């Protein structure tokens, strides 16, 4: 199917699919559980830009570079242009076909997470962490199609444009947002009871013999976007041993809201706040996955995971960019 | 020196001193670009997703929520900026700290501290 690749039957290819998608495929091929889904390749984004004539408009907008004070307006302009443009029929038709194929394979009607997978994120030196956006819990095909455009538009989000300015200023690494390209990953939404991030080295003290986990109730975005204080657990790496548990307040939880096809933030009840979000068994499962995944990529990894009814799903894995 | 906050030291262990700015929105962040020299940014959970790239020379961040796995912590490590997450403040009036001189220090392991200096 043109523009679309299913995770289960394609080869990893960061240039065609973006690094996040490529790493998911590698994980799947190694027998690690990832949410089922498909990828809209980077070519689709380029095709969209040329078919809608946006490529030329964007070139004009960015022809003179930009300053920090221009970012909000510039970002708004680009986002409006992208959202107002119609998806080329060839792309939307194939997404619809893939969506229906996906539903048939799943055997049920899940909601979908729509996430960016760019060719610049998740590299060894620059993570671009948090710059490209994800859109969760999309219920119908129309929500999905709109979220695809929102992913494309997130290349030009204020935080993304600001990050590029900072790379130029602090790291002498110059790249135009016009050179950034993104694929889009569409996967079944995991209705996680517990989610989090796992580093296969302790990034706070550079200890390569430890594993560091941040964990919380509900969806993991509350950790990555810093809206709560998560549980923090340190494990020994050479063999499974829990070295330290710091219970975080976890004051809010992000959960899917099926009425609005989005996610909502609710207050966590008192009992859950005081409880560690991971059991010893789950810690052991995460430990074993961590060792496997680090071996697979042959480099310390920053891993996002989610647990739904005792099944651990890996949502993302990328190199730790700051290990010495 | 008065200790006003303590949290998880997630990034560079350098001690730095600077002027506090309390940042809440992406507009505040953009306002700070090119003026962030010598500033220590305090952020809380409101609007923090926009703060990933809050970095300029000598900027450090102190966040009342988050952990080592937060995007802000990841990006702080990439740019070598001190970053204290899940910071507990001795005051609830963070706006009143705006403009005050402060210092960040670490205990050599995983705790980080914010002090007011005269």
Residue in chain B lying closest to A169 (CA):
B56
Reported as a single tens digit per residue, the pLDDT across B78-112 is 878 899 999 999 999 999 999 999 999 999 889 99
Max intra-chain CA distance, chain B? 34
pTM, entire model: 0.91
Contact B65 A158 (CB under 8 A): no
Domain boundary among A133, A156, A188: A188
Residue in chain A lying closest to B108 (CA):
A205
For A71-78, what is the mean pLDDT?
93
Residue A296, chain B, CB below 8 Å: the answer is no
**Residue A302: which domain range?**
194-319
* Residue A165, pLDDT score: 85
Contact B59, B41 (CB under 8 A): yes
pLDDT at A130 over 80: no
Residues A167 and A297 in one domain: no
Residues A308 and A160 in one domain: no
* Residue B70, pLDDT score: 87
Domain boundary among A133, A164, A188: A188
3-state secondary structure (DSSP) of residue B49: helix
**% of chain B at pLDDT higher than 90:** 50
Residue in chain B lying closest to A168 (CA):
B56
Residue A199, chain B, CB below 8 Å: the answer is yes
Residues A223 and A107 in one domain: no
CB contacts, 8 Å: B84 with chain A: none
Closest partner residue to A166 (CB to CB) among B53, B67, B69 is B53
Domains recognised in chain B with CATH numbers? 2-116 (3.50.30.10)
Give A124's pLDDT tier (boundaries 50, 70, 90): low
pLDDT at B113 over 90: yes
Residues A181 and A284 in one domain: no
CB contacts, 8 Å: A228 with chain B: 45, 65-66
Interface A-B: count of C-beta contacts within 8 A = 131
Number of Cβ atoms within 10 Å of the Cβ of A249? 16
Average pLDDT, chain A: 92
The three-point CA angle A64-A68-A72 to 5° equals 95
Beta pairing class for A231-236 and A210-217: antiparallel
- Residues of B near A (CB-CB distance < 8 A)? 8-11, 26-27, 29-30, 33-34, 43, 45, 48-53, 55-57, 63, 65-75, 77-79, 85-86, 109-110
Closest partner residue to B48 (CB to CB) among A129, A214, A225 is A225
| Number of domains present in the structure of chain A | 2
* Residue B44, pLDDT score: 82
For B36-45, what is the mean pLDDT?
85
pLDDT at B46 over 60: no
Domain boundary among A188, A212, A241: A188
């Amino acid at each position: 199917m043109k523009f679309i690749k299913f995770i289960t039957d394609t080869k990893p290819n960061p240039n065609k699919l973006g690094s996040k998608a490529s790493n998911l495929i590698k994980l799947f091929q190694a027998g690690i559980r990832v949410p089922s889904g498909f990828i809209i390749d980077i070519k689709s984004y380029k095709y969209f830009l040329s078919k809608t004539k946006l490529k030329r408009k964007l070139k004009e907008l960015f022809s003179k570079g930009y300053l920090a004070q221009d970012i909000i307006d510039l970002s708004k302009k680009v986002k409006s242009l992208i959202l107002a443009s119609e998806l080329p029929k060839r792309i939307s038709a194939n997404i619809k076909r893939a969506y229906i194929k996906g539903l048939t394979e799943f055997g049920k009607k899940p909601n979908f997470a729509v996430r960016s997978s760019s060719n610049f994120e998740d590299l060894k030196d620059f993570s671009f962490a948090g710059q490209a956006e994800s859109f969760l819990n999309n219920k119908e095909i129309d929500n999905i199609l709109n979220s695809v455009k929102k992913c494309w538009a997130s290349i030009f989000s204020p935080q993304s444009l600001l990050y590029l300015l900072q790379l130029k200023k602090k790291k002498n690494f110059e790249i135009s947002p016009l050179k950034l390209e993104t694929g889009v990953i569409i996967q079944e939404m995991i209705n996680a009871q517990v989610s989090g991030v796992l580093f296969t080295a302790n990034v706070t003290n550079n200890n390569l013999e430890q594993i560091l986990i941040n964990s919380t109730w509900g969806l993991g975005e509350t950790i990555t976007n810093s809206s709560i204080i998560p549980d923090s657990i340190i494990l020994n790496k050479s063999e499974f041993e829990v070295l330290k548990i710091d219970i975080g307040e976890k004051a809010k939880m992000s959960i899917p809201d099926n009425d609005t096809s989005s996610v909502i933030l609710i207050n966590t009840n008192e009992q859950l706040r005081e409880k560690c979000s991971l059991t010893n068994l789950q810690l052991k499962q995460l430990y074993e996955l961590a060792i496997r995944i680090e071996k697979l990529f042959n480099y310390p990894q920053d891993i996002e995971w989610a647990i739904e009814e005792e099944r651990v799903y890996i949502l993302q894995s990328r190199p730790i960019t700051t290990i010495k | 020196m008065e200790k006003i906050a303590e949290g998880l030291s997630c990034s560079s262990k350098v001690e730095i001193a600077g002027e506090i700015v309390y940042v809440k929105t992406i507009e505040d962040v953009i306002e700070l670009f090119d003026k962030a020299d010598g500033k220590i940014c305090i952020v809380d959970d409101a609007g923090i997703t926009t703060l990933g790239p809050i970095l300029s020379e000598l900027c450090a961040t102190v966040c009342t929520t988050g952990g080592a796995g937060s995007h802000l912590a990841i990006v702080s490590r990439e740019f070598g900026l001190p970053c204290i997450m899940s910071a507990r403040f001795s005051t609830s009036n963070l706006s009143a700290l705006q403009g005050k001189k402060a210092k960040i220090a670490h205990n050599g392991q995983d705790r980080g501290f914010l002090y007011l200096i005269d």
